[in-house]
Amino acid sequence: MEEDSALFAVGYASKLGADYVDARLEDHYNELIIVANGKVQRGVINRKRGMGIRTLVNGAWGFQSTTNLNKKSVRQAAKIAFKIAKASSKHVPTPVKLAPTKNHKTSYKTKVKTDMENIAFEDKLKQIINWEKKLHTSKKIVRGLAEYTGLKIHKMFANSEGARIRFSNSLMWLSLKADSKKGATTQSYEKTTGHSGGYEIFEKNDMEKISLETGHKAESLLKAKAAKTEKDATVILDNDYVALLVHEIVGHPSEADRVLGREAAWAGTTWWAGKIGEKIGSDYVTAYDDPAINGTLGYYRYDDEGVKAERKVLIEKGVLKGHMHSRETAAIFGVKPNAGMRAITFEYIPLIRMSNTFFGEGDWKKEELIEETKHGYLISCMRHPSIDDKRYNWTISAKEAYKIENGELTTHLRDVALTSIAPKFFKSVNAVTKKIEVLPLPGCGKGDPMQALYVGNGGPYLRGVATILGVK
């Protein structure tokens, strides 16, 4: 990569008078394969390289990206980033300040055993066609869908404070989905397998088995009974459902820009603004965001501002402890920056994003949770969220559920959704398992223009109280 051009951009914008400059020089490779009902819908290889230059001038942000890395274009991009920041500064009554951070000079890589580019595209496609085929476990499966994404990203971060960080990342995921139908009843089931690493994930996991299980699940849901509405029911949520729940009602409201009202015109704000230190849930509710977990989709060691990643404690034993920060929001809150900034490519200015957000562990076993529940529901596998702008009122549907009667799983249920109010639900949590799992969740959207990012979410099995909605 043309690393000198990043240093040139930083130096040039600094000379123009910028108070702070950073440049992200990036090289992206991505593969996309979509197979539906045995037919290849997409088979794509994309490459993109370029640079994003961010400047701070008189306390205002400016940014310009370019896909042309010759000196003239880079100079022009740096100039625009400077000029636009300067123009904006007239309308920035409170100049941006950055919380200090160490200037790291380092290089790191995601561990990869099998490089995705070393496997012929044709071979990958054959495999994916086969896995999609296995979804069709009977004629009741009317639609199978396999969607594979592979990303390789090499990036070099440099800023005017002296940071120089190189990161080579590799990520991939495969979603397998089966739609079943019998008469007027239609159901679906989906499973996503993914990680940061190489193609070995599809060698390590028995993908044929996962496909078959997904198909069988979609079929079995046709026989399940439709759930009925029940107010304030005892619910045990599995890791998969918890992954979406923690994403929506802990992850997003923990983004400090959102807490400050800066996302009000887009995704919204948060109900817990100004409540740091307050008890918002039971002692069983602890939640973290941690980028430094190898193998997860949210993995990184340094964020896109060059801040070293660390585990952020968001909620501890029911007390709201902290948020995810940029250097700017950390300065506003008077805390240390905690590496929350990411952009999907060099063409975007970084935003505060989740990395791997998950609920912390407890000391229960899953079996104990069920055994000790006289009447309740085991809610399994996320489906669709619908959350209000303050992340207060939430409704999230599940792929399936089981009734629990006298400590045993009984009736298999479909068409089920849960709804509650975030603090009410947090206070209702009364048991959490020891075993936790962080699952791949590709497709978290934020920003204008929108940035669709990949994260990790999950946690333990968790028991609480929520209203069951029988979806009509």
Please list every residue from 23 through 52 that binds another protein, using CB under 8 A. 28, 30, 32, 34, 36-37, 39-50
- Amino acid at the residue 378: L
User: What gap in Å lies between CA 56 and CA 33, rounded to an integer?
Assistant: 40
Q: Is 40 or 319 the residue whose CB approaches another protein more closely?
A: 40
By the rule CB under 8 A, 143 interacts with another protein: yes
Sign for the pseudo-dihedral over CA of 63, 68, 71, 76? negative
Find the binder of another protein among 274, 277, 334, 449 (CB under 8 A).
449
- Residue 85, interface with another protein (CB under 8 A)? yes
Give Cβ neighbours of residue 47 (< 8 Å, ≥ 6 apart): 27, 28, 29
**Nearest approach, Cβ of residue 437 and another protein (Å):** 21
Residue of 412, 397, 402 lying closest to 470 (CA atoms) = 397
The b/e string for 4-19 (b: 16+ C-beta within 10 A; e otherwise) is ebbebbbebbbebebb
Instruction: Pick the binder of another protein from 442, 456, 460, 464 (CB under 8 A).
Output: 442
Among positions 413-432, residues that touch another protein (CB under 8 A) are 421
Choose between 85 and 431: whose C-beta lies nearer to another protein: 85
Region 296-335 residues binding another protein, contact defined as CB under 8 A: none
**Closest distance of CB 349 from another protein, Å:** 5
R_g of the chain, CA atoms, integer Å: 23
Residue choice 404, 413, 453, 462 for contact with another protein (CB under 8 A): 453
Interacting residue with another protein among 1, 7, 16, 84 (CB under 8 A): 84
CB of 140 to another protein, least distance (A): 14
Q: Which of 2, 200, 368, 389 binds another protein (CB under 8 A)?
A: 389
Q: Is 208 helix (H, G, I), strand (E, B) or coil?
A: helix
Residue 193 C-beta: closest distance to another protein, Å: 15
Which one of residues 21, 51, 137, 179 is an interface residue with another protein (CB under 8 A)?
179
CA torsion 242-243-245-251 (nearest 10°) is: 130
219-278 residues in contact with another protein (CB under 8 A) are 260-266, 268
Angstrom distance (rounded) from CA 398 to CA 190: 11
Residue given tokens 């993995």 in the structure block = 299
Those residues with Cβ within 8 angstroms of residue 169's Cβ, 6 or more apart along the chain or in another chain: 109, 110, 151, 152, 153, 154, 155, 196, 299, 300
State the nearest-atom distance from the C-beta of 324 to another protein, in Å: 17
Q: Indicate the residue among 93 and 334 with the shorter CB distance to another protein.
A: 93
Q: Would you say 45 or 111 has its CB closer to another protein?
A: 45
CB 407 within 8 A of CB 370: yes
Chain center to CA of 281: 23
Nearest distance, CB of residue 289 and another protein, angstroms: 19
Applying the rule CB under 8 A, the residues between 340 and 379 that interact with another protein are: 344-345, 347-349
Contact pick of 17, 100, 162, 443 for another protein (by CB under 8 A): 443
Rounded CA separation 365/374 (Å): 16
Give the residue, chosen from 62, 291, 376, 460, that forms a contact with another protein under the rule CB under 8 A: 62
Give CA–CA dist 122/304, Å, rounded.
Answer: 34
Whole-number Å distance between alpha carbons of 425 and 406: 23
Out of 387, 416, 462, 465, which residue is the one contacting another protein (CB under 8 A)? Answer: 387
CA distances from 196 to 30, 124, 150 (A): 14, 18, 10
Nearer Cβ to another protein (33/370): 33
CA distances (Å), 471 to each of 92, 178, 382, 396, in order?
48, 20, 14, 11
What size, in residues, is the chain?
A: 472
Please identify, among the stretches 12-20, 213-221, 304-312, 449-457, the one whose residues bind another protein according to the rule CB under 8 A: 449-457
Question: Which residues in 144-173 contact another protein (CB under 8 A)?
Answer: 145, 149, 151, 171
Residue 296 dihedral angles phi and psi, to the nearest 5°: -90, 160
- Closest distance between another protein and the C-beta of residue 363, in Å? 33
Q: How far is the CB of 316 from another protein (least distance, A)?
A: 27
Helix (H) or strand (E) run with residue 210 in it: helix 207-223
At residue 34's C-alpha, the angle toward residues 29 and 36, to 5°, is 175
Q: Give the residue, chosen from 81, 141, 212, 354, that forms a contact with another protein under the rule CB under 8 A.
A: 81
Of the candidate spans 6-14, 303-311, 406-414, 447-455, the one that interacts with another protein by CB under 8 A turns out to be: 447-455
Residue list 114-133, contact with another protein (CB under 8 A)? 120-122, 124-126
SS3 194: strand
Q: Residue 204 contacts by C-beta under 8 Å, 6 or more apart in sequence?
A: none
The rounded distance, in Å, linking the Cα atoms of 199 and 125 is 13
* Among positions 6, 13, 23, 77, the unique one binding another protein when judged by CB under 8 A: 77
Q: Smaller CB distance to another protein: residue 384 or 435? A: 384
Question: Candidates 74-82, 131-139, 160-168, 356-364 — which segment interacts with another protein by CB under 8 A?
Answer: 74-82
**Per rule CB under 8 A, count of chain residues that contact another protein:** 89
